[in-house]
């Protein structure tokens, strides 16, 4: 398997954690996002959308979109499970994951921020307000869903980490990168601390990857 990655991509982070949790052997190919390599001919031949991550399976098929890749890894390597066994529980985990991955995070990826600045003419303060709003509105919903459910345990769903924990830590990493105050979300923070104690999460931190800056 070949994992096309970059230290700064949070979508790549999600795949990295899942590969680590499931201990799936793979080769990492780092795509130079700052240098625009993801939009060059070589990489768009791999992923026509020109975004990170992508995963080339051992059969040679290229998979795109982080959550689709997580589902694939779950299906080919079910243990440890990233989803609970019951349909309603699985829907709860996927719903939590999608609040981050399909509502908040799409608003703050580099290509969207570049568009806000270059085409829409927003200044740095306006972009920061935009990012703050995207992250706080998503985490506000996630916190309520976590805090009010008896299904929340040491992790988002019970006492084992799931896809929802991968996306929750992705969300909190984004809040750190953009210096958003995340202190008002006690359940989310408690769970994220439990995740950080696991090597699959802590070793997958963006700043521990090749090419990352010191801080």
Question: Smallest distance from the beta carbon of 109 to a second copy, in angstroms?
Answer: 8
Tokens 């981050």 map to which residue? 100
148 vs 179, beta carbon nearer a second copy: 148
86 vs 214, beta carbon nearer a second copy: 86
**Site size for a second copy, by CB under 8 A?**
49
Choose, by CB under 8 A, the member of 18, 101, 180, 195 that binds a second copy: 101
DSSP label at 211?
T
Residue 186 contacts a second copy per CB under 8 A: no
Residue 78 contacts a second copy per CB under 8 A: no
Of 23-31, 72-80, 187-195, 200-208, which part binds a second copy (CB under 8 A)?
72-80
Choose, by CB under 8 A, the member of 95, 178, 189, 198 that binds a second copy: 95
Residue 120 contacts a second copy per CB under 8 A: yes
Pairs from 21-27 (Cβ < 8 Å, separation ≥ 24): 21/80, 21/82, 21/161, 21/198, 21/200, 22/73, 22/77, 22/79, 22/80, 22/82, 24/73, 24/77, 25/1, 26/1, 26/2, 26/55, 27/1, 27/2, 27/3
Alpha-carbon distance of 19 to 126, in angstroms, equals 36
Residue 181 contacts a second copy per CB under 8 A: no
57 vs 202, beta carbon nearer a second copy: 57
Choose, by CB under 8 A, the member of 122, 173, 182, 198 that binds a second copy: 122
Residue 31 contacts a second copy per CB under 8 A: no
């Amino acid at each position: 398997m070949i994992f096309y990655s970059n230290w700064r991509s949070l979508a790549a982070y999600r795949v990295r954690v899942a590969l680590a949790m499931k201990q799936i052997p793979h080769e990492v190919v780092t795509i130079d996002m700052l240098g625009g390599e993801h939009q060059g001919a070589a990489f768009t031949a791999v992923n026509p959308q020109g975004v990170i991550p992508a995963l080339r399976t051992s059969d040679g098929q290229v998979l795109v979109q982080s959550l689709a890749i997580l589902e694939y890894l779950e299906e080919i390597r079910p243990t440890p499970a990233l989803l609970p066994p019951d349909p309603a529980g699985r829907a709860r985990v996927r719903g939590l994951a999608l609040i981050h991955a399909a509502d908040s995070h799409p608003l703050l990826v580099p290509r969207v921020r570049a568009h806000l600045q270059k085409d829409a003419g927003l200044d740095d303060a306006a972009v920061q307000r935009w990012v703050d709003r995207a992250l706080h509105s998503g985490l506000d919903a996630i916190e309520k869903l976590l805090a009010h459910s008896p299904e929340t345990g040491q992790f988002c769903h019970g006492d084992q980490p799931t896809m929802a924990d991968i996306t929750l830590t992705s969300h909190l990493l984004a809040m750190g990168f953009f210096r958003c105050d995340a202190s008002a979300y006690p359940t989310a923070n408690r769970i994220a601390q439990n995740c950080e104690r696991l090597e699959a999460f802590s070793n997958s931190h963006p700043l521990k990857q090749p090419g990352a800056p010191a801080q």
